[in-house]
Amino acid sequence: MNPDSGDGQSPPQRPSVGRAVHYVSHGTPVREDGTQAYTAQCRAAVVTAVDPAPDAGPGDVFVSLAVLNPTGLFFDQFVLQDEDDHAGGTWHFPERV
């Protein structure tokens, strides 16, 4: 699902190669006591390809990303957009500040 630009009149944002977006890391598995060593975090990422996924549903937007982590780079393909829940393993446009 693509968000609009915020003013209600601009066309929806669309990913393109070279665009800066946010990738949400998965975090570590939840322990028995309910804690995590590392929680899911937004990370800076650059779109490297806009991917037509073979099993994509209507409105699904997949991209390939180069994710910039504090400890190095991570590359991923067919990453699903999630503007609402920001679930781990998805990408979204940066929030406007």
Domain spans in the chain, listed from the N-terminal domain onward: 20-92
> Rounded mean pLDDT of 33-37?
90
In this prediction, residue 5 has a pLDDT band, given cuts at 50, 70 and 90, of: very low
Distances 79 to 64, 68, 91 between C-alpha atoms, Å: 6, 15, 7
Q: Report pLDDT digits (tens) over 57-87.
A: 767 788 999 999 999 999 999 999 999 999 9
Using pLDDT thresholds of 50, 70 and 90, give the confidence band for residue 97: confident
Residue 20: which H helix or E strand, with range? strand 20-24
pTM here is: 0.79
**Phi, psi at 16, each rounded to 5°:** -150, 155
Burial 68-95 (b: 16+ CB within 10 A, else e): eeeeeeeeeebbebbeeeeeeebbbbee
Tokens 């060593």 map to which residue? 37
Q: Where are the alpha helices (DSSP H) in the chain?
A: none
